[in-house]
């Protein structure tokens, strides 16, 4: 498990200085937009609940790209690198690496273009290329409006029921996980069994991806932390996929 | 717009390099037909006019004045948001399954995503940096009262703090308490009091 899989409760960190801006440098907006376009143009949307005729969209993007792919990239980083980089710096590294590895661009042309903008302030300030098929942007807006719901029909009854005491399994997160590592082995109470089943974008080594029930679990602080570290009268809740849960 | 948070302020060379690299990437993607020259601006514009905290503020203001709407909102957040006079898309990207929790004199709720930055886009737009900050994500799950006090929220000892982490597919936000002194205000005036921070539980609403 990497440190980014198990952030919860770390000691010795700084006081919070709230930064309320969404973007702290103008360039960050551009990588956010590129990532969102990739999600909106991803080839898996032909199997989504909204009716996306994704094969007909005149983009050259034919890859599978979701939040899961972005998260897997960040979770795969060296932990110290993860914390050295600001949020959108991780995105820029992961996304540009993906376009190179999938063959849309080469590392050489990306490096050469970057160097050109660094050396030539006129080129750096020049407008971006224009043009492109408007149907690409129509699909992007349609995705923003209609989303990509992970809810699917429930195929088998949920294993656990409201009020039941359960325990979080001890599992290796592998390349990508939706289980905060600090919850492994901890007990909790089921406070809600969500309607339906939830898929994930792709199967992970630790077992999510096929549609399965999700539970809202309540963890008491004394079940998570040493007595000397807990605050009185607080409850921690998390939504947990069924595969991560076993009977207490 | 350099950040006011020293932890996010990096040397000018580092920002200049990232700016050049992202422009290089975007220009190549346009030339190769992956996206158009307008795609990124279309997306950014959407978050300025269609999806953003201005929607959540109107939902909260309506819940403060309309008990039947508030009941629906707490029971079925998506149905309530879709019943608003908003553009289509309230159950769109990153809002397909939303839940809202109510602050009361007895309970204060705060939202976190320790694994990344899950956030209800249709009603609150994009997450501010404090929400994405590993320090906030690490600390609020164990010491929410101390973290809230650093945001300026001082809770009475009698208040229960509930921390809601988003590790699956539900996107969470908070229905704050209506402040005293707002009797007779219109929904528009009430909506103007709300901030993303109040609707994620790290601020209270005041007049």
Q: Which domain holds residue A54?
A: 3-149
Tokens standing for residue B89: 């898309």
Closest alpha carbon to B15 in A58, A23, A237, A184:
A23
> Are residue B177 and residue B91 in the same domain, yes or no?
yes
CB-CB under 8 Å, A74 with B142: no
Q: Which domain holds residue B15?
A: 7-37
Q: Is the pLDDT of residue A146 over 60?
A: yes
> So what's the pLDDT on residue B6?
62
- Catalytic (active site) residue B81: no
Q: Is the pLDDT of residue A131 over 50?
A: yes
Closest alpha carbon to A195 in A148, A160, A152:
A152
Q: Phi then psi for A217, rounded to 5 degrees? A: -110, 140
> Domain with B124 in it: what CATH number?
3.90.330.10
Catalytic residue among B116, B149, B186, B206: B116
> Are residue A145 and residue A238 in the same domain, yes or no?
no
Tens digits of per-residue pLDDT, A65-99? 999 999 999 999 999 999 999 999 999 999 999 99
Tens digits of per-residue pLDDT, A194-228? 999 999 999 999 999 999 999 999 999 999 999 99
Residue A122 with chain B: CB contacts under 8 Å: none
Kindly state whether B74 is in contact with chain A, defined as any CB-CB distance less than 8 angstroms. Answer: no
Tell me how many domains chain B contains: 2
> Are residue B165 and residue B69 in the same domain, yes or no?
yes
> So what's the pLDDT on residue B7?
59
Report DSSP letters for B48-94, one per residue: HHTSSHHHHHHHHHHHHH-HHHHHHHHH-HHHHHHHSS--S-TTSTT
- Catalytic (active site) residue B118: yes
Q: Phi then psi for A165, rounded to 5 degrees? A: -80, 130
pLDDT string in tens for chain B (207-residue length):
456 666 566 777 999 999 999 999 999 999 999 999 999 999 999 999 999 999 999 999 999 999 999 999 999 999 999 999 999 999 999 999 999 999 999 999 999 999 999 999 999 999 999 999 999 999 999 999 999 999 999 999 999 999 999 999 999 999 999 999 999 999 999 999 999 999 999 999 999
Interface of B with A in 105-124 (CB under 8 A): 114-117
> So what's the pLDDT on residue B8?
62
Q: Looking at the whole model, is its pTM more than 0.90?
A: yes
Nearest to A136 among B35, B91, B130 (CB): B35
Q: Is the pLDDT of residue A139 over 70?
A: yes
Last-in-domain residue among A101, A123, A149: A149
Tens digits of per-residue pLDDT, A170-198? 999 999 999 999 999 999 999 999 999 99
**Mean pLDDT, residues A32-44 taken together:** 98
d(CA A220, CA A248): 14
> Domain with A53 in it: what CATH number?
1.10.472.20
Residue A136 with chain B: CB contacts under 8 Å: 35-36, 39
CB-CB under 8 Å, A9 with B138: yes
* Size of chain B in residues: 207
d(CA A70, CA A90): 9
């Amino acid at each position: 498990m990497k440190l980014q899989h198990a952030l919860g409760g770390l000691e010795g960190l700084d006081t919070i200085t709230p930064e309320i801006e969404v973007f702290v440098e103008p360039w960050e907006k551009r990588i956010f937009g590129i990532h969102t376009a990739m999600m909106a143009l991803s080839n898996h949307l032909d199997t989504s609940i909204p009716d996306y005729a994704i094969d007909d969209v005149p983009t050259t993007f034919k890859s599978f790209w979701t939040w899961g792919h972005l998260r897997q990239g960040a979770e795969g980083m060296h932990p110290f690198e993860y914390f050295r980089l600001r949020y959108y710096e991780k995105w820029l590294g992961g996304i540009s690496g993906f376009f190179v590895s999938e063959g849309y661009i080469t590392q050489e042309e990306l490096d050469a273009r970057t160097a050109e903008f660094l050396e030539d302030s006129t080129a750096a300030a020049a407008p971006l290329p224009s043009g492109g098929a408007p149907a690409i942007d129509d699909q992007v807006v349609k995705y923003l409006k209609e989303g990509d719901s992970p809810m699917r029909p429930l195929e088998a009854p949920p294993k656990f029921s409201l009020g039941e005491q359960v325990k979080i399994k001890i599992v290796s997160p592998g390349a990508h996980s939706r289980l905060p590592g600090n919850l492994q082995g901890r007990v909790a109470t089921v406070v809600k069994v969500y309607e339906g089943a939830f898929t994930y974008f792709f199967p992970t080594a630790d077992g999510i991806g096929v549609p399965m029930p999700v539970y809202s679990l309540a963890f008491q602080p004394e079940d998570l932390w040493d007595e000397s570290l807990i605050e009185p009268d607080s409850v921690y809740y998390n939504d947990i996929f069924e595969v991560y849960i076993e009977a207490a | 717009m350099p950040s006011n948070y020293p932890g996010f302020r990096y040397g000018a060379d580092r920002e200049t390099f990232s700016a050049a690299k992202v422009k290089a990437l975007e220009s190549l993607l346009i030339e190769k037909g992956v996206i158009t020259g307008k795609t990124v601006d279309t997306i950014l514009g959407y978050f300025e006019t269609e999806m953003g905290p201005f929607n959540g503020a109107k939902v909260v203001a309506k819940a403060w004045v309309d008990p039947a709407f508030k009941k629906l909102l707490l029971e079925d957040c998506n149905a309530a948001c879709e019943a608003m006079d908003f553009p289509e898309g309230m159950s769109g990207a990153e809002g397909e399954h939303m839940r809202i929790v109510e602050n009361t004199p007895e309970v204060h709720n705060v939202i976190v995503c320790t694994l990344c930055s899950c956030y209800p886009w249709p009603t609150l737009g994009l997450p501010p940096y404090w929400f994405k900050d590993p320090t906030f994500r690490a600390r609020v799950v164990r010491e929410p009262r101390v973290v809230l006090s650093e945001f300026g929220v001082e809770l009475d000892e009698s208040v229960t703090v509930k921390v809601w982490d988003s590790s699956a597919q539900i996107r969470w936000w908070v229905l704050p308490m209506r402040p005293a002194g707002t009797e007779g205000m219109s929904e528009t005036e009430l909506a103007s009091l709300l901030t993303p921070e109040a609707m994620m539980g790290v601020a209270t609403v005041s007049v």
